[in-house]
Structure 1
């Protein structure tokens, strides 16, 4: 099962970024046209500059149901996964500002039956330092969360789960913390989480397409999730009432931009509260509801979200007043790479539109490669129509085609060129070039 949280963007391609006043919308169109034409993604995307939306694009379908085939549009609503946590954090800080709770308030005030409840604070829950079991990702049975469960059942899984560490003694991404924060919000205010989103956020800043607590596929505008197949295949997603306050919100990219811009402009919480939300600590540039998003020498703020079938990203580069939001309900291209491309193009940096090859066209490149210059070997495999590289003892990396025989892994500055006739691979990284020979099958 896909975790509700996705790794945040990390990229290093240019030594210095200067922001142009104009976003290159033509090149953005070329990029999304390539994804659409080659059936590599379905979803909606938007970019704002100085608080104004300057680019919107939707590709593919919001629904492929036989009796309900609907093209994706600017009003298609997507499950934004863990970006929901930013909304939850905003609500918590609003209550802190009203004096109804503090960062030092103990979990025992609301859930005394939980392990370490006397020592776990609201700050621990917000900053993923509670040490509590993660009720979404820890259970071995990853199907149970796709079926309905009562509040008591959900809390029981958290309470009986294995503690990761003592409160404040470590950091581990924890969906359970935000489940509890959602319930705490409801107990303090006497209102449902959905009502709090509507009253304290949506109505306040004019979000017209953002809602919580809706059962899966119950809205006419809700995009259905799909996995790549021949053709796209419907996905059974998480049962969203199980993850209210954690990852259930429905929204659109333009609403998400309105939200992040309002947050940075002080329209939702005070400057002090916002500064606490983005008080980033290692590992992972973790804040209280927000994460730091490194992009070359800059550090943006934001969050990503992933369910079993949708992938979303929200980031704002505060220094340049540039924000990006994207929601994908069908992915046959790395969702993180979509965000990278959108930001690189928005900064008018060089970017080569990917060339998409078929599985058959990739087959001649597959195999193990070794070099007289190095002790390591590099294996080249494929998943569907995507080429995967992996050096000895290292993590795999996705190679995006930029020509019929040229590929790159932009995040690490890797470029690869194959020579099918000579059975060779030229590997470049960090200004160094290495020649690898394809090994003959044993």
Structure 2
């Protein structure tokens, strides 16, 4: 649900022009195991990682724990289920196109038929909702911790309806979780079933998966991985309250079953050829490389193009992509990732499959004294950004929390510099002036501590 696709695309684009020879080789499993082992040994990730060829799994690595409760730790297994975040949207889009194939919906039907109270409802189409061009509000990313608490369906709809649209329908593309929440409710209205029941009937029963389920409350399933972050130890995260994001980001799955799903979708087992063509209709020129289709995204890797989706909640990161030309697919699901990038994991898996070079990460730690950290603590404000940042500590780990967001740990690069690799954040402190510089996306933002 967190909009992390742009980071993935940007990094993979950087590999696009280096070579045209990306024939699959036998995977060097020892090196890829070493890659993941280094991440595990440095408390960077817990999760499950799969590579497949023509739907057949040829590499699978599961790391970390599904549950951590004080001294009790339950190791994750191949059966552990993870929240897949926005990959859920591909399932939602698939069911919408099934209803289109059955002549029960069409891409040009207006939102006003189902939710006339929404702004611009008489001009927003099903197509606009699918490709994020509706202009409607995002009830997840625009509302911070509000989404972590239970809300009724009426409250969720009201949250979307009362926000002025960002633009006219079809004018731009802006990621909208709210649009997919409406698509999920439309599925329920048209089928007369709950989203979870429709998912089971229309997808999971057809492809024979057992782990893919929707409509469950947080941490209610026996095999469900709980969400964590590492702050000197793996600590629990208060995640999005998943009934708030049915059809948007609530599905549980293993990566193995995501492989089954993406291969069923790309091979024509779930929607018609015409509908699948529309799902991967990426408008715009190749130069612009618009990544957004209707329920699918695309990413480049050398001369190849992969289609699929990724997902992020407050406690999970997931990825699911396939190359329809050569049959390669990958999926991974996590319940803990700290100071490491989803992009680097994706690239390592792709490079391993296509026998391209990649490095085993090296993590350098800087040991700081308690007084070194204490001098940096406080609330920082900026004239450059309307975003306050609170600097705290958890044990010997410095923590940062922006307004309306969850706190995240920082790695010490030096006594005065701290980074968060996952979010491309670097914080530089001036101890004497009690100031801080936030560096992100190549831009600098000046902060001063509140007195």
Please, what TM-score do these two structures have when normalized by structure 1? 0.80
CA distance in 1, matches of 2:151, 2:22: 50
Pick one of 38, 44, 50 that aligns with 1:40.
44
Output aligned runs, 1:324-363, within 5 Å: 324-332=330-338, 333-360=340-367
Instruction: Tell me the distance in 1 between the aligned counterparts of 2:47 and 2:146.
Output: 27
User: What is the distance in 2 between the residues matched to 1:387 and 1:307?
Assistant: 27
Task: Identify the residue that residue 75 of structure 1 maps to in structure 2.
Answer: 79
Deviation string, structure 1 residues 420-440 (Cα, Å, up to 9, x no partner): xxxxxxxxxxxxxxxxxxxxx
Q: Which residue of structure 1 lines up, in the alignment, with residue 283 of structure 2?
A: 281
Output the CA distance in 1 between the equivalents of 2:262 and 2:88: 12
Encode CA deviations 1:152-198: one digit per residue, 9 max, x unaligned: 00000100012100111111000011000000000001000000111
Report if the CA contact (8 A) 1:5-1:81 is conserved.
Answer: no
Please tell me whether the aligned partners of residues 25 and 353 of structure 2 are also in contact (alpha carbons under 8 angstroms): no
Deviation at 1:360, TM superposition (A): 3.6
With 199-208 and 68-77 compared, the bigger mean Cα shift is at 68-77
1:91 aligned partner:
95
Distance (whole Å) between structure 2 residues aligned to residue 68 and residue 251 of structure 1: 24
8 Å Cα contact 1:81/1:310 also seen in 2: yes
8 A contact 2:84–2:311 mirrored in 1: yes
CA distance in 1, matches of 2:72, 2:187: 37
Equivalent of residue 311 in structure 1, options 317, 327, 331: 317
Instruction: State the match for 1:24 in structure 2.
Output: 28
Deviation at 1:68, TM superposition (A): 5.4
Shift of 1:384: 3.2
- TM-score with structure 2 setting the length: 0.78
Q: Deviations over 1:313-356 (max 9, x none)?
A: 11112222110101111112212211111111111101121112
SS at match of 2:257: helix
Counterpart for residue 261 of structure 1 = 263
Structure 2 distance, partners of 1:74, 1:36, is: 17
Work out the CA distance in 1 between the residues paired with 2:264 and 2:60.
19
1:73 and 1:17 map into 2 onto residues whose CA distance is 35
Q: Quick check: 30-39 or 96-105, which moved more?
A: 30-39
User: How far, CA to CA, are the matches of 1:308 and 1:113 in structure 2?
Assistant: 30
The runs of 5 or more residues in structure 1 that have no matched partner are: 362-381, 389-395, 400-408, 410-442
Whole-angstrom distance in 2 between the partners of 1:177 and 1:165? 14
**2:355 match: secondary structure:** coil
Distance 1:27 1:195, change over 3 A: same
CA contact (8 A) 2:119 2:164 kept: no
Aligned to 1:438: none
Equivalent position of 1:299 in the other structure: 305
In the alignment, the residues of structure 2 paired with residue 292 and residue 286 of structure 1 have an alpha-carbon distance, to the nearest angstrom, of 7
- Structure 2 CA distance for partners of 1:203 and 1:387, relative to 1, 3 Å: farther
Distance in 1 (CA, whole Å) between partners of 2:237 and 2:364 is 25
Give the match for residue 329 of structure 2.
Answer: 323
- Cross-structure match for 1:290: 296
Asked if the contact 1:312/1:327 (under 8 Å) is kept, the reply is yes
Please say if residues 236 and 308 of structure 1, whose CA atoms lie closer than 8 Å, have aligned partners that are also in contact: yes
Could you say which residue in structure 1 is the equivalent of 2:244? 242
Aligned to 1:384: 410
Q: Distance in 1 between matches of 2:81 and 2:100?
A: 30
CA distance in 1, matches of 2:41, 2:410: 17
State how far apart, in whole Å, the 1-side matches of 2:37 and 2:48 are. Answer: 12
Counterpart CA distance in 2 for 1:280 and 1:55 is 30
Aligned counterpart in structure 2 of residue 194 of structure 1, from 189, 193, 196: 196
Equivalent-residue separation in structure 1 for 2:348 and 2:54 (angstroms): 20
8 Å contact from structure 1 (residues 387, 398) kept in 2: no
* Post-superposition offset of 1:26: 2.1
Query: How large is the Cα RMSD of the aligned pairs?
Result: 2.2
- Aligned partner of 2:122 in structure 1 is 118
Secondary structure of 1:314's counterpart equals: strand
Task: Give the alignment partner of residue 15 of structure 1, picking from 12, 19, 42.
Answer: 19
Q: Distance in 1 between matches of 2:84 and 2:302?
A: 25
